[in-house]
Structure 1
Amino acid sequence: MVDLSIILVNYKSPQLLLDCLATVYAETTRHSFEIIVVDNDSQDNSRELTLAAYPQVIWIPMSYNSGFARANNAGITVSKGRNILLLNTDTLVKNGALDKTLDLFEARREYVACGVQLLNTDGTHQISGAHVTKGGLNTVLPLPYLGNFVRYWGYKLNARVPSVTSVSEVTDVDWIVGAFVMVRKEVLAKSGLLDEDFFMYAEEIEWCARLKKQGRLCLFEAPQVVHIGGGTSSSFYNADEWNNGKNLWNRRGRQIIISNQLRIYKEFGTAWFLILTWFYVADIPVFLIGLLIEKLVKGKKAKYSWRNFVEYTKNIGVLLRYCPKILSKKPYFYKVS
């Protein structure tokens, strides 16, 4: 049995994949590993380029764009490692990070899953994990205008900032950013694999909630991995949509809203799902009034546009159409068009 099975999901990003693999092979020298690439029907030359450079890679083709959860599960199913690493293709391994992570992980048996300090391309720290807030209220912080109100009262009530950007040696967290999640394979028999209702976004948060029932989760400071961000998803959504991941009025935002609410329902139940849905709906008049005032005061310098408002309203309409399906508890692939 190898020490580590590394699973990467590829979708029309051959160069990112090749760059990532180059760093994995160059920087991982002390532990045995296998690499499994699951391809989400890229319909390009990703397979040919990858296997020409790294013939030892195990290549699993999906017949459709199955998203993050289903593709990673396909890789986990055939993996042979004692430990599993879900690694984004838009990452670069630095200074023996995988070897360091395995050393730390093997020494700390109280942890069932771990992440590392993620870095932006300029070397600054990136959000690497987070603490869960009650009912998942932090997911409404990006709401135009209303999100600022929620944030204000969060600070007033001394609520803990959920995101962990700077890791200190070993930092316990409730969930780990999906760009780098290492898990002991033995715990998956009880925790289960990723939930295949999810297409993209929030699936690792819901998974970590189940993993945490089997043991603690942490981030390690010493291993560092560069996370470019938006690599695979930008091949599916318009590339310029990555410029602001908090936008809730575009196609990506529509998927984020549905996935977040699906996770809220699965993790916190019906009551919190309905409460957060109310926040999304209530923000429509708040958005309208706030935008009207800001336009009158700032004119073209207003933060949002009328198009933002219209598209946000449409996205909330989509959320409301999905509510009965989510509340039905029936399996469904929530890939939003």
Structure 2
Amino acid sequence: MQLSIIIVNYNVRFFLENCLRSVLKACSGLDAEIIVVDNASSDQSRSMMEADYSDIQYHYLASNLGFSKANNFGISKSKGKYILLLNPDTIVQENTFSSALDFMDRHDEAGGLGVHMIDGNGVFLPESKRGLPTPEAAFYKISGLSKLFPKSKKFGRYHQGFLDEKRTHEVEILSGAFMLMRSEVLEKIGGLDEDYFMYGEDIDLSYRIIQAGYKNYYFAGTSIIHYKGESTKKGSVNYVFVFYRAMVIFARKHFEKDSASLFSIIINVAIYFRATIALIRRLVGRYWQVILDFLTLYLAFLLSTRFYETYGSKDFSLEFVNWLLPIYAAIMSMAIEFSGANDKPGKGSNLFRSWLVAIVVVLAFYALIPESYRFSRAVLLIGSMVGLGIALFWRILREVFLSRSKKSPDYIPTRRLFVGELKGLNMAKKILNLTNHSSEFMAAVSPIEKLRTEGFLGTTNQLSKAVTEFRIEEVIVDSDTCTYQQVLDIINQSKMLDVKVKILNKDWMIGPNTVIKAHRFQAGNKLYHINLSSIKRLKRLSDVMISSLLLPITPILIFFVDNPGGFIKNWIQSTTGVISWVGYDIRGFDPELPPIKKGVIYSSIDTFWPKHEVESIFNNNVSYLLNHSTLLDFKLVFKNIHHLGNRGA
């Protein structure tokens, strides 16, 4: 057998199928086998593979063994002369395997090969070609010098930015997203090091290929898409620790003791530096509106005290006033956040409602503090009104300048161009309509002239012109009609044309961080437009408030709940955030329901549903999400007091 393709999957069902569709086309004419190793996915990957890809070797593991062990398991089942490790969130062209194998056949010294990779927005991925992470190279990367001078032979060593991405080069390190190797080399060097759970194993393997006397090549003769981060989400604090600790394992294994010690020091400094930066970015990215509200309110309270001192003949020179003002601002800004003022889509009614809640909360706090610290209710009211005006003003500016910006994460395209045939166009329209992704304008072009249908603008030769003239924001490409080479060509153009690209596969569409599929039940299509972060936040608030109210009456409640011991356990777990008081009815649980914490009770807990009424139970779960409020959770809990000792839904 010529080629064995090993794909390790973990909870990326749609990206996996997207990958397999391209891989099967690329295997045409080759003596190849595909081996999918599943690290105990829970997202319907298994049912999809068993139903639609039964001719592909599929191994479902009992637990998540990590990238290295799962790949080694796949390698142990392979028979090919060449072994390809391929990420599930990739798309290959029809000629990718044949051209890569041809290069390897012509270069006996080649032990491993990587290819030119772009992300889903057409941006070249620098990890396509990398250098050895020596202490010096690691320092330049960590310090940011490699980013400032990417094409420098000195500072840009890690990502080898000085090497032309459009030409083939000998390199040191290959990417595990696409890593083609001779099976004889793997037998010689011993496969992936299982000390690495995730990250770093490709660097280790690449280096051992070189140590065995072979060369690694970056091959520019073909290109693939890597939806970077879909199979392993990056940018989190956890990612920073896992990735850089993998670098420490590599250093201890391959560098001399002194170099390894220096490397470990650099990496450990990097871990905490990068983790701090990642944490700050996440906090600012997630709570920038809260921070801005706090600053706005603090400024408003300061101005109000100065105004009242000047025109109201009041003296606010007391020391405690200076530290009470930021406390008031903090209480109000958090109350505004929890009340939903910053939820998407932004609504003026949300802001006014949240502001009223915040004023009530801060006045309640004012009433509870010692009387000697209550310096002025007027300052609070005037400051709140001024803060409301400023907050309304900057939110209007945000909507004007960001809502139509294609760079904004909240931006939703409405002007679309379809590439394919009439059948695919009708399916794309159906998916968009069912999932409430409305189109202000939608036109179509054909991939080739002979497939052109009446009403289509032209072919892909006119794509650039059509995007410009019709102000297109999103291009949908039908993978059943277009070749994957055409898909990559369009995604390569997307960066220059400033459009998003989604790929139509049968009855669903996929793009960077996005999957759109019409749900089997009509109610499921409403899930695309719920604000899950808002629901989770309000549920957490509800849980804490409910637990607080239940605590003083616990001695009485234990005589009314069905399972007193279970109630105590549930109270502890709900208070600490392990579970929630209210959750889904698991009798109608669907893997496509947004993830929320397991609940003690659910809205239809006393309703008997026949086994065949799965849709009704699912609809009830969706209704709970759509109508969720803190009041709803309170009603459900106090209506079902006797069930609060349940083992959990």
TM-score range, shorter chain: 0.7 to 0.9
Question: 8 Å contact 1:167–1:220 — kept in the other structure?
Answer: no
* Structure with greater proportional strand content: 1
Change (3 A) 1:136 1:283: closer
Say whether 1:186 aligns with 2:184: yes
Aligned to 2:170: 172
The Cα of 1:63 is off from its aligned counterpart by 2.1
1:42 has 2:29 as partner: no
Query: In structure 2, what residue type is equivalent to 1:90?
Result: D
Tell me if 1:278 matches 2:277: no
For residues 21 and 164 of structure 1, what CA distance do their matches in structure 2 show?
A: 31
Letter in 2 for 1:208: S
SS in 2 for 1:100: helix
2:153 and 2:89 map into 1 onto residues whose CA distance is 37
Query: What is the match of residue 232 of structure 1?
Result: 231
The residue number in structure 2 matching 1:129 is 129
Q: Does the 8 Å contact 2:66/2:197 carry over to 1?
A: yes
Q: Which residue type is aligned with residue 210 of structure 2?
A: K
Q: 1:282 to 1:4 in 2, by over 3 A?
A: closer
1:271-315 CA-partner distances (Å, limit 9, x unpaired): 22321232355569989xx9xxxxxxxxx9xxxxxxxxxxxxxxx
Q: State the distance in 2 between where 1:186 and 1:219 align.
A: 20
| Per-residue deviation, 1:141 | 4.4
Q: Identity, % of aligned pairs?
A: 28
CA distance in 2, matches of 1:90, 1:193: 22
Q: Distance in 2 between matches of 1:171 and 1:196?
A: 29
SS at 1:233 equivalent: coil
**In the TM superposition, what are the counterparts of 1:50-89 in structure 2 within 5 Å?**
50-89=49-88
Given the superposition, is the C-alpha separation of residues 159 and 140 from structure 1 closer, same or farther in structure 2, using an over 3 Å criterion? closer
Specify the alignment match of 2:243 in structure 1: 256
Aligned to 2:137: 138
CA separation of 1:168/1:109 partners in 2, compared to 1, >3 Å: closer, same or farther? Answer: farther
TM-score by length of 2: 0.39
Matched AA of 1:30:
G
Q: 1:109 to 1:270 in 2, by over 3 A?
A: same
Q: Which amino acid aligns with 1:268?
A: F
Would the aligned equivalents of 2:151 and 2:160 in 1 still touch at CA under 8 Å? no
Q: Which structure is higher in helix share?
A: 2
Deviations 1:234-270 (A, max 9, x none): 2xxxxxxx3x4xx6xx111111121111111112143
Structure 2: which amino acid aligns with 1:190? Answer: K
Distance 1:28-1:189 versus aligned 2 partners, 3 A rule:
closer
**Cα-Cα RMSD:** 3.0
Answer yes or no: is the 8 Å Cα contact 2:39–2:65 preserved in 1. yes
Task: Give the partner amino acid of 2:261.
Answer: L
Q: What's the CA shift for 1:31?
A: 1.2
Cα distance change, pair 80–251 in 1 and its aligned pair in 2 (3 A)? same
Partner deviation per Cα, 1:10-67 (whole Å, 9 max, x = no partner): 1111111100000111233221110101111113421210232221111122222111
41-50 vs 174-183, which deviates more?
Answer: 41-50
Residue 104 (structure 2) aligns with: 105
Contact 2:146/2:158 (CA < 8 Å) preserved in 1?
no
* Cα distance change of structure 1 residues 284 and 212 upon mapping to structure 2, 3 Å threshold: closer
Match of 1:205 among 203, 206, 212: 203
Unaligned stretches of 5+ residues in structure 1: 235-241, 291-299, 301-337
1:238: which partner in 2? none
Conserved 8 A contact 2:135-2:262: no
1:159 deviates by 4.8
* Deviations 1:149-206 (CA, angstroms, capped at 9, x unpaired): 7988999994553314643442101110110000000112221110001000111101
Unaligned runs of 5+ in 2: 278-287, 289-649
Q: Equivalent residue for 2:24?
A: 25
The answer as to whether partners of 2:4 and 2:35 remain within 8 angstroms in 1 is yes
One-letter code aligned to 2:32: F
Q: Computing the radius of gyration over CA atoms, which structure comes out larger, 1 or 2? A: 2
Measured in 2, the distance between the counterparts of 1:171 and 1:157 equals 15
* Structure 2 CA distance for aligned equivalents of residues 36 and 58 of structure 1: 5
Distance 1:62 1:137, change over 3 A: farther
Q: State whether residues 139 and 260 of structure 1, in contact with CA within 8 Å, keep that contact through their aligned partners in structure 2.
A: no
Larger RCO, structures 1/2 (Cα 8 Å, 6+ apart): 1
Q: 1:286 to 1:118 in 2, by over 3 A?
A: closer
SS in 1 for 2:92: strand
SS in 2 for 1:103: helix
Distance across 1 between alignment mates of 2:14 and 2:270: 40
Query: Deviation string for 1:90-143 (max 9, x for gaps)?
Result: 10012421121112211221201111111122333212021225x343334454
Aligned partners of 1:17, 1:60: CA distance in 2, in Å?
14
Q: Relative to structure 1, is the Cα distance of residues 261 and 30 closer, same or farther in structure 2, using a 3 angstrom cutoff?
A: same
TM-score of the two chains, using structure 1 as the length reference: 0.73
Contact 1:82–1:184 (Cα < 8 Å) also in 2: yes
Q: Kindly indicate whether the alpha-carbon contact (under 8 Å) linking 2:248 and 2:267 is maintained by their aligned counterparts in 1.
A: no
The aligned counterpart of 2:526 is none
Gap change, CA 1:90 and 1:164, over 3 Å in 2: farther
C-alpha distance in structure 2 between counterparts of 1:284 and 1:25, whole Å:
40
Quickly say closer, same or farther: Cα 1:157–1:125, change in 2 above 3 A.
closer
Cross-structure match for 2:253: 266
